[in-house]
Structure formats: C-alpha cells, structure tokens
Amino acid sequence: MEKWNQTSNDFILLGLLAPNLTGLLLLLLIILVFLLALLGNSAMIHLIRVDPHLQTPMYSLLSQLSLMDLMYISTTVPKMALNFLSGQKGISFLGCGIQSFFFLTMACSEGLLLASMAYDRYVAICRPLHYPTCMSRRVCVQMIIGSWILGSVNSLAHTVYALHIPYCRSRAIDHFFCDVPAMLPLACMDTWVYEYMVFVSTSLFLLLPFLGITASYGRVLLAVYHMHSKEGRKKAFTTCSTHLTVVTFYYAPFVYTYLRPRNLRSPAEDKNLAFFYTILTPMLNPIIYSLRNKEVLGAMTRVFGIFSSKKE
C-alpha cells in the first residue's frame, strides 16, 4: 500500500489497470476507444448541424446525446491515462469535485434525454398527426434545456454533499474516477441517509425514465406490428431497435450498479460496469446510430463523400 499524507485534502484513485505490460496494452486499447468516441460523436454533431435532411427534433436530440457522450468520456479517460502513464495516482480535492460533478451531470442528463428521444419516437409513430405540435422546435428545446438543468442540479447536490463528508480514513478511492458511492466507505460518519438519497435519485433519474421508455416503445412496437406498409414497418422497427439498443447499453449497468445495497457491491465489479457505461457506450452510440440509420448514412455520403457506392 502506498504511503499517503493523511493531512492532505487530496485523494488517490487506485485505478482500473494493473501497472504492468498488460495494463499498458489495455490502456492503449482504452485510448483507441476514446479517440473513436471523439471522432464518432464529433462527426455526428457536425452531420446534424450541416445537413438539412437531419434538421428534425429526433436528430436535434441525437446531437445532444453525442455532445453528452463526448463530455462523458472526456471526464474519466484523460485523467485515468495521465495517472497510469505518470505513475501518480493523486487527484486534488477540487479536481475530484469537478470530475464528480461533470460525471453525474452527464449521467443524469443523458438518462432524461433518452426518455425524450423515446417520447419523440412514440409521438412520431403512434400519433403522427400530432407530431408537429407535440414535438415542435420549442418543445424540443425545452426538453434539451430541462435535461441539462435537472441533471446539473441533481449533480451539484450530490457533489456538494460528498465534498462536505468528513474523511478520517484512507483517502484511496478504489475506482478510476471520483464516483461518489466509491468515496462513501472512506467517510468517518454514518452515510445511510446519503445512500438513501442515492437510491431515490437513481429511481427518479434512471429507473422511472427507463420504465417510461419501456412503456413508450411497447406502444410503438405494437403500432409497428399493425402497420400495413411493409416499408414503413421496417423503417419504424429499425429506428426503434436502434434506440432500444442504446437504452439497454446505458441503463442496464447503471441501474444494476446504483440500486444495489452496498453489502452486495464489490469495487472490482463496480469498476468493470463503470468501464462499460463510461467508456464503451459513448464509443458505441454513434456507431449504432449511423450503421443502422439510412438517413445518417445518406448524410455521411453528402457531407463526407463516403458510402457513395451505396447511394439510393
């Protein structure tokens, strides 16, 4: 165990990777995933901004999802890579608070945004005549702003609470970023009240939106099944299956991690699950939305000149 100055306010991040050759190779793989996520999400934002065929509420929401994924993965990977390559595991008290705030903001905001995207598909397929009213530009902007504000407020409350907890034990966080639940075992006070707050917050920002998404897509899939147009049924099913794939990748590990009691959790399992939703998912989202979406592929042909051989 490394020596640590107990009078310091800083923390140690024990990290995800072992300091050996295998760890270095895994880090290089993570950096590759990070670069692919930056490229994919930046390209998606650019496509939606410049291509007139993508100027719809659904793609406005998708561009915000790409922006959140960019910030999401940038919150954790650079610091993890820097600590591994430098051999230093420390993170300042302020740096830990900033990292925690942005991570929680992106996590909560993205959950609400995915719910908005599910509502958009529900209205488009189940109530198409009401779509211009229910999903007007004004409503879309309100959904986006609401997701950011609610996510930020919730994140600020958790971060401020976590930074005001007295830490009288080791300041070594058994994680690769400042995840608040991973910090609680270091506290020298009973944190059951805060753990209850985490449960309530997770239920409000993750579980309830997930149940709403499930209900929306249940109605959508039922409507798709009764469609007379084979082409329309195929297009609707492809769009919905794409969204459901992203929703499953995002919500499943998050809900499993944060709704379990502390005595059923282990640091190793939490880190592995966090690797999935903080690093892999931001890289996979633009790939899923582009490869399974003819409109996005068409925009890539028009803007970047690729897939030209597949023009319709």
HEC per residue, the chain: CCCCCCCCCCEEECCCCCCCHHHHHHHHHHHHHHHHHHHHHHHHHHHHHHCHHHCCHHHHHHHHHHHHHHHHHHHHHHHHHHHHHHCCCEECHHHHHHHHHHHHHHHHHHHHHHHHHHHHHHHHHHCHHHHHHHCCHHHHHHHHHHHHHHHHHHHHHHHHHHHHCCECCCCEECCCCCCHHHHHHHECCCCHHHHHHHHHHHHHHHHHHHHHHHHHHHHHHHHHHCCCCHHHHHHHHHHHHHHHHHHHHHHHHHHHHHCCCHHHCCHHHHHHHHHHHHHHHHHHHHHHHHHCCHHHHHHHHHHHCCCHHHCC
- pLDDT tens, residue by residue, 56-97: 999 999 999 999 999 999 999 999 999 999 988 999 999 999
pLDDT: which is higher, 119 or 249: 119
Query: Taking the model in full, what pTM does it have?
Result: 0.88
Above 90 in pLDDT, residue 13? yes
Above 70 in pLDDT, residue 7? no
Above 50 in pLDDT, residue 276? yes
The predicted model gives 101-122 an average pLDDT of: 92
Above 50 in pLDDT, residue 207? yes
Above 70 in pLDDT, residue 3? no
The reported pLDDT for the residue numbered 300 is 83
Which domains are delineated in the chain?
11-304 (1.20.1070.10)
Above 80 in pLDDT, residue 263? no
